[in-house]
Amino acid sequence: MPEGPEIRIAADKIERAICPYPTTEVFFAFEYLKHFEAELTGCRVTGVEPRGKAMLIHFDNGLSVYSHNQLYGKWMVRKAHDLPETNRQLRFAIHNAKKSALLYSASDIQILSSQAEIENHPFLSKLGPDVLSAGLKPETLQASLKSKKHYRRRLSTLYLDQHFLAGIGNYLRSEILFVARLHPQLRPVDCTDAKLLGLAKDSIEVPYQSYKYKGITNDLDLANQLKADGAGYRDYRHWVFGRTDKPCYSCATPIVKEMVSSRRIYYCPHCQHA
Ligand SMILES: [Zn+2]
């Protein structure tokens, strides 16, 4: 399941392909969207905006295409009209003079025609702030952690809740809690204000680093050193995620793996106090 940083990287790739040139053709597989094809042809795409696991493609005529990949959807960027051999069903395509952005298999595609419609959308309106949204401030996130809705929930479950923070998944959950040095079983109510502010900062910085540096959530110098010493990507990428029984990079205590809500979480029992 892709998480915020991977979704943002995919969105960047689509943006680079379709923003520079006006569309020459837009295709929708679903009948109820067909009449928008002409309306979106000859337009420019002004931005590709991930919201959690959904994507908004904004056009300069004021329309936005909402899509949610669920488990099956897949974006591909190709040379213009160079469709790949695949058994997947093409559901939405944007072509310009140079490139095509193709969405396969997704079944949840809608047209939203105003900012109000975006903000009131049943899925989008319930999402928490996107973890990579430029305007997200640590203080805002700290206040959210301290809110009545979140104060008494365990960090392990809160950090998979897209209504709290969109774009966090399994690996980011483990990595953020390690960097913040907080045990997954803690609740915000158990933490000091300073710890919560630290957690809020790490919740923004860890995903951003992952986005910028090929998914690496480990300390970058340490990761480089490990790589120079011959470690593979899997071994130097993360502090704790996927490192069951391996020594913690800070204290050498074996990393523990547990299942929470049937998803695996990793932590250091020494560095992350209960
Ligand atoms: Zn440790």
What is the model's pLDDT at position 27? 98
Q: How far is the CA of 103 from the centre of ligand 1 (A)?
A: 42
Nearest CA-CA partner of 269 in 178, 202, 156, 180: 178
User: Is a pLDDT exceeding 80 seen at residue 71?
Assistant: no
What is the model's pLDDT at position 273? 81
Q: How far is the CA of 190 from the centre of ligand 1 (A)?
A: 20
Q: How far is the CA of 240 from the centre of ligand 1 (A)?
A: 9
The amino acid that residue 228 corresponds to is: A
* Token couple for 187: 């609740």
Task: Dump pLDDT digits (tens) for 96-155.
Answer: 999 999 999 998 999 999 999 999 999 999 999 999 988 899 999 999 999 999 999 999
The question of whether 53 is a catalytic residue gets the answer: yes
- Compute the distance between CA of residue 6 and CA of residue 93 in angstroms, rounded to an integer: 21
The question of whether 195 is a catalytic residue gets the answer: no
Task: Dump pLDDT digits (tens) for 10-63.
Answer: 999 999 999 999 999 999 999 999 999 999 999 999 999 999 889 999 999 999
- Compute the distance between CA of residue 263 and CA of residue 157 in angstroms, rounded to an integer: 10
Rounded mean pLDDT, 199-221: 97
User: Which residues are close to ligand 1, an ion, with C-beta < 5 A?
Assistant: 248, 250-251, 253, 268, 270-271
Q: Are 96 and 24 in contact (CB under 8 A)?
A: yes
Q: How far is the CA of 245 from the centre of ligand 1 (A)?
A: 12
User: Is a pLDDT exceeding 70 seen at residue 173?
Assistant: yes
Q: DSSP assignment, residue 107?
A: -
More confident residue, 214 or 134: 214
The CA-based dihedral angle spanning residues 136, 141, 144, 150, taken in that order and rounded to the nearest 10 degrees: 120
User: Is a pLDDT exceeding 90 seen at residue 262?
Assistant: no
How many of the other CB atoms lie within 10 Å of CB of 238? 24
Q: How far is the CA of 163 from the centre of ligand 1 (A)?
A: 30
| Active-site choice (2, 227, 264, 269) | 2
Q: How far is the CA of 238 from the centre of ligand 1 (A)?
A: 13
Q: How far is the CA of 178 from the centre of ligand 1 (A)?
A: 9
Nearest CA-CA partner of 4 in 196, 205, 179: 205
| Active-site choice (53, 99, 237, 243) | 53
Q: Are 173 and 156 in contact (CB under 8 A)?
A: yes
| Active-site choice (74, 201, 263, 264) | 263
- Compute the distance between CA of residue 55 and CA of residue 127 in angstroms, rounded to an integer: 13
What is the model's pLDDT at position 201? 98
Q: How far is the CA of 119 from the centre of ligand 1 (A)?
A: 42
Rounded mean pLDDT, 244-250: 97
Rounded mean pLDDT, 182-211: 97
Q: How far is the CA of 269 from the centre of ligand 1 (A)?
A: 7
Rounded mean pLDDT, 255-262: 91
How many of the other CB atoms lie within 10 Å of CB of 187? 16
The question of whether 2 is a catalytic residue gets the answer: yes
The amino acid that residue 273 corresponds to is: H
Q: How far is the CA of 251 from the centre of ligand 1 (A)?
A: 4
What is the model's pLDDT at position 63? 98
What is the model's pLDDT at position 70? 80
Rounded mean pLDDT, 80-86: 96
Q: Are 14 and 49 in contact (CB under 8 A)?
A: no
Nearest CA-CA partner of 176 in 250, 120, 239, 269: 239
pLDDT band at 274 (very low <50, low <70, confident <90, very high): low
Average confidence score pLDDT of the chain: 95
Q: What is the largest CA-CA distance in the chain?
A: 61
Residues constituting the chain: 274
Rounded mean pLDDT, 200-221: 97
Q: Are 226 and 234 in contact (CB under 8 A)?
A: no
